[in-house]
Amino acid sequence: MAEHDSEGLGIGTRLVGAGRRAEWTGSADHPGAVVNPPVYRASTHLYPDMAALRAHPANEDGKFYYGRRGAPTQWALAEALTALEPGAEGTVLYPSGVAAIMGALLTVLRPGDVLLMIDNAYEPSRAMGRGLLGDFGVETRWFDPADPAAFEAAICARTKAVLLEVPGSLTIEVCDVPRLSAIAKAHGLTVVLDNTWASPLGFPALVRGVDIAIMSLTKHVGGHSDVMMGSASAGPAWYRKLRLRAQGLGNVVSPDDAALMLRGLRTMGLRLAQETGSALAIAEWLAAQPEVAKVLCPMLPGSPGHDIWARDFTGGCGLFSFVLKGGTCAARDALIDALALFGIGYSWGGFESLATPVDPAPIRTASPWPLPGLEAGDRFGVRLSIGLEDTADLTADLARGLAAWRAAL
Ligand SMILES: *Cc1c(COP(=O)(O)O)cnc(C)c1O
C-alpha cells in the first residue's frame, strides 16, 4: 500500500490505512506484502556486528533496539493512534488505561505540586490521588465538573496540572473542556484528559486545548472485551517526555495485544456509530418511562452537558446512565438481575451490552449527588454499555428490568 499523507481523508479511510507502513507489512524486496503488521515476538533484537551495536540510533521511534522499546507491531499501533489524533506528535502505549493515566501524571507532576482532578473522574484515577500520588508528595484536590469558576478558584501557586474526564464516569456529565483548558493555560497548568468515552473520533482533544489525551484502549479500540491497554497522545511539548517516563517505568505492551488492538481499531468507527445510534434510541425510550427520573446521556437533549456535547463533539458512544425515581438499592439490583441480554460486569465498549449499578454518593467529594434537579431519593442509577445487539431486543429487556423494579418496591 502506498504511503500517503492522511490529511483531508475521511475518518473511515484513515482508520483503514493508519499504521500500515509498507516497511512494517512486508520485506525489503516486497514491501507491504501483507495487510496487517505481523506479530513480532521479540525481547532480543540482534545487530549484524559490533559497529552496528555501537552505532544504534539514540532512542528514536521506529528503530529496533531491545524488546522493551517495541517492534513494528507496537509501533504500527502507536503510529495509527497518532494519525487519528489531530495535533499529536506521537503516542505512548501502556499495559492498561490506568497505567496510561498514572504514566502521564508521573510525567507532569513533581513532589510538592498540587493536582486538580474533576470530581466525576474514574474511581481508580481518584484512588491515585488519594494513594500513590500522595505517597510521592503530590496533593490532589477535586472540583465540581459543572463549575469552571470553582475550578479557577481552586488553583494555587503549587497547582501544576489538571486531570479532566469528559464525560465523567458513572454520571456521564459533560464538562466544558475548552473553557477549563483556557483557564488552566492562563495559570500555566498542564491539561491531561481521559478521553476514553469519545475517543479522537468524537472529541479531538488536543485541538480543544488539551496537552495530553489518554484513552483506555481496553474499551472502544479493543472493542471485543478480550484485551487491555492504554495510550497517551501528545504534541511536541509532551510526547518525548511521556515516552521517556514510560520507558523509565518499564512500560511495554505485548505484540499479540497490539495486533488485537489494531484489529479492533479498523472497525471502531462502525461500532461507535452503531452503538451511538442505539444508545440514543434506548435513552429516548428510557426517558419516557415513569420509573425513570433522569437519563444521563450526552446525546440526549436535556441531559446534563448536552449543549456542550453538541457544540464540541463529533460523535458519541454506547455508554450512558439513568437514575430511577426513588426506590431502593434492592429494587435497582432486581432490575439489573432481571436483564437477560445485558451482562453484569465492569468495563464497557465491547460488542456486547453490559449493565452496572451507579452509586456516586460515597465517591464524589466536591459536587452534589443526586444531581441538581433531582429529588433527594432519586439516587439509584444504572449504567448501560450498549453493544451491537438489536435495539428492540435491548429495549424489551430493559422493560423486563423495570417490571422487576416495580415488583421489588
Ligand atoms: C476503564 C477506564 C479506564 C481504565 O482503563 P483500564 O484499561 O481498564 O485500565 C480509565 N478511564 C476510564 C474512563 C475508564 O472507563
- Residue whose cell numbers read 474499551: 219
Residue 22 is given by DSSP the state G
pLDDT of residue 57: 77
Q: HSE on the CB side for 197, CA within 13 Å? A: 30
Amino acid 360: pLDDT: 86
CATH number at residue 102: 3.40.640.10
Instruction: Give pLDDT < 50 ranges for the chain.
Output: 1-4
What SS3 class is residue 230? strand
pLDDT tens column, 248-292: 999 999 999 999 999 999 999 999 999 999 999 999 999 999 999
Catalytic residue check, 390:
no
Q: Answer whether residue 6 is part of any domain.
A: no
Q: What CATH number does the domain containing 345 carry?
A: 3.90.1150.10
What pLDDT is stored for residue 2 in this prediction? 40
User: Is 219 known to be catalytic?
Assistant: yes
Q: 296: CA distance to ligand 1 center in Å?
A: 19
Nearest to 323 by CA among 277, 257, 372, 364: 372
Query: Pocket of ligand 1, candidates 93, 174, 219, 225: which has the most ligand atoms within 8 Å of its Cβ, to mutate?
Result: 219
Same domain, 106 and 240: yes
Same-domain pairing of 102 and 42 = yes
Ligand 1 pocket residue status of 140, Cβ below 6 Å: no
Mutate to test the pocket of ligand 1, among 101, 119, 120, 122 (most ligand atoms within 8 A of CB): 122
How far apart are the C-alpha atoms of 336 and 338, rounded to whole Å? Answer: 5
pTM equals 0.97
User: Ligand 1 mean position to 228 CA, how many Å?
Assistant: 9
- Give yes or no: residues 256 and 274 share one domain: no
Do 157 and 16 lie in one domain? The reply is yes
Per-residue pLDDT tens for 313-333?
Answer: 999 999 999 999 999 999 999
Same domain? 283 vs 262: no
Query: Of 236, 266, 296, which residue is a domain's last?
Result: 266
303 and 401 assigned to the same domain: yes
Residue 230: domain span:
11-266
**C-alpha R_g of the chain:** 22
Let me know whether 328 and 201 are in one domain.
no
Q: Are residues 210 and 311 in the same domain?
A: no
Q: 136 near 114, Cβ under 8 Å?
A: no
In this predicted structure, what is the pLDDT of residue 4?
47
Find the catalytic residue in 68, 110, 130, 406. Answer: 68
- Residue 385: CB within 6 Å of ligand 1? no
What's the rounded Cα separation, in Å, for the pair 126 and 353? 26
Query: Based on the domain organization, do 18 and 153 belong to the same domain?
Result: yes
Look at residue 5 in the predicted model and tell me its pLDDT. 54
What's the number of domains the chain is made of? 2
Looking at ligand 1, which residue's alpha carbon is closest to its atom 7? 97
In a domain, 4, yes or no: no
**Residues 378, 380, 384: CA angle, nearest 5 degrees:** 125
Do 37 and 163 have their domain in common?
A: yes
pLDDT of residue 1: 37
**One domain for residues 152 and 179:** yes
Phi, psi (rounded to 5 degrees) for 388: -100, 10
Q: Both 31 and 141 in a single domain?
A: yes
- Active-site residue 122, yes or no? yes
